[in-house]
């Protein structure tokens, strides 16, 4: 019995890691897609609004077609009404909207690889802090030597990959935008995990995230339409419209992975997927003037090492308070 449980646990861990790797890769692909659509439409806001709008349509179809998701909606409403989870737990979609908007603003200027590297800095440090303090009801995982070393190696990957590439104050602003939003992505993962637990449905959690993002971006798009005008050109390539599908897959990988891996390891695994895919994208379909150099490949190697170090077994305490345990379990198990 023990061996069976251990084997199942290992398979679940490996599956969560693989899903997070694919989710990270999709994040880089989405950055390239959003950058292309931003160029077509002449607006990062319009591009982000399209991405979230199409993603919302897909999630609503899933909710309508899955009985477990339909049952999860009243569970979530009851959890919010009774205070089992705070009202601000539904606001994770704001971070998602900021992430996609930043893709359009930065990736087209500094390239997908550098955009990804900038996000890595925020994700690695943000994950370490969030795990250590147990933010948003997640279990507290101590900042052990290995976990700190993993974050340090991830930052070293950023330094190596960007060495001699970023020049001028203007480019540093494009670099700092994804770094700042990246630091908050772990918080989005954590509160999305709480929504998933309360509703006993990952589909409901994703739908809540996307719905909030749509509200924010639709408002921004309406303001831009009135003050600036409509999109400037038609879409030049069909795959520029695929951001919503990619966004749905990304959110699924994050929501299902955070409870098993923790914020830090999830972030580091996403980082590896992001970097590898970003390098491949800039080799095959680069943003003009941003071909990858050897430093980017060295940085990707350091990111791999950072994940391996963070995954090594070490002495750490995982502290879960009764409130945190209730937030994680939601009182029911997802079917």
Cα–Cα distance, 231 to 233 (Å, whole number): 6
User: Kind of pairing, strands 318-319 and 140-141?
Assistant: antiparallel
Phi and psi, residue 86, nearest 5°:
-70, 155
- Taking phi over 0 as left and psi of -120 to 50 as alpha, with beta for the rest, 147 belongs to alpha
- Provide the pLDDT for residue 291: 63
- Provide the pLDDT for residue 299: 76
State the residue for tokens 């590898």.
Answer: 276
- Provide the pLDDT for residue 164: 64
Cα–Cα distance, 23 to 64 (Å, whole number): 24
Cα–Cα distance, 57 to 115 (Å, whole number): 28
- Provide the pLDDT for residue 159: 74
Token digits of residue 213:
């993002």
Q: Is the pTM of this model over 0.75?
A: yes
Cβ-Cβ contacts under 8 Å for 308 (sequence gap 6 or more): none
Cα–Cα distance, 193 to 89 (Å, whole number): 9
Going by C-alpha positions, the residue among 111, 201, 121 that lies closest to residue 159 is 121
Cα–Cα distance, 198 to 192 (Å, whole number): 10
- Provide the pLDDT for residue 292: 66
Helix (H) or strand (E) holding 140: strand 140-141
Cα–Cα distance, 12 to 18 (Å, whole number): 10
Q: What is the 8-class DSSP label of residue 166?
A: -
- Provide the pLDDT for residue 57: 95
CB 166 within 8 A of CB 172: yes
- pLDDT per residue, tens digit, the chain (335 aa), is 445 445 557 777 888 888 989 998 998 899 889 988 998 998 999 999 999 999 999 999 999 999 989 999 999 999 999 988 888 989 989 999 999 999 888 887 777 877 887 787 777 777 777 777 766 555 666 667 877 887 788 778 777 776 766 665 566 778 788 888 888 887 887 788 789 889 999 899 999 999 999 999 999 999 999 998 888 778 888 899 999 999 899 888 877 787 777 766 777 788 788 878 888 887 887 765 566 677 777 777 777 787 677 767 654 444 444 444 344 434 333 43
Q: Say how many C-beta atoms besides its own lie within 10 A of residue 3's C-beta.
A: 7
CB 44 within 8 A of CB 104: yes
Cα–Cα distance, 105 to 191 (Å, whole number): 26
């Amino acid at each position: 019995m023990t061996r069976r449980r251990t084997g199942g646990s290992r398979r679940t861990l490996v599956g969560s890691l693989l899903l997070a790797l694919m989710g990270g890769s999709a994040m880089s692909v989405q950055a390239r897609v959003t950058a292309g659509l931003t160029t077509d439409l002449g607006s990062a806001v319009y591009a982000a609004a399209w991405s979230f709008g199409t993603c919302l349509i897909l999630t609503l179809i899933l909710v309508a077609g899955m009985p477990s998701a339909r049952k999860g909606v009243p569970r979530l409403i009851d959890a919010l009404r009774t205070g089992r989870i705070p009202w601000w737990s539904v606001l994770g979609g704001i971070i998602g909207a900021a992430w996609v908007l930043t893709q359009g603003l930065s990736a087209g200027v500094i390239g997908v690889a550098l955009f990804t590297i900038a996000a890595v800095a925020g994700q690695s440090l943000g994950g370490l802090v969030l795990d250590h303090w147990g933010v948003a009801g997640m279990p507290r995982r101590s900042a052990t030597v290995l976990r700190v070393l993993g974050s340090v190696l991830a930052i070293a990957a950023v330094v190596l990959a960007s060495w001699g590439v970023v020049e001028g104050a203007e480019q540093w602003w494009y670099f700092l935008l994804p770094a700042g939003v990246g630091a908050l992505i772990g918080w989005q993962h954590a509160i999305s995990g709480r929504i998933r637990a309360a509703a006993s449905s990952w589909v409901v959690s994703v739908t809540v995230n996307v719905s909030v993002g749509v509200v924010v971006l639709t408002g921004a798009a309406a303001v831009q339409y009135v003050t600036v005008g409509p999109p400037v050109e038609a879409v030049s390539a069909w795959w520029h419209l695929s951001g919503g599908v990619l966004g749905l897959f990304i959110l699924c990988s994050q929501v299902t992975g955070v409870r098993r891996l923790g914020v830090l390891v999830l972030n580091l695994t996403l980082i590896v997927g992001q970097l590898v895919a970003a390098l491949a994208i800039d080799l095959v379909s680069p943003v003009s003037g941003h071909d990858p150099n050897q430093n980017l490949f060295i940085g990707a190697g350091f990111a791999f090492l950072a994940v391996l170090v963070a995954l090594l077994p070490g002495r750490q305490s995982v502290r879960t308070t009764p409130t945190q345990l209730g937030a994680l379990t939601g009182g029911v198990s997802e079917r």
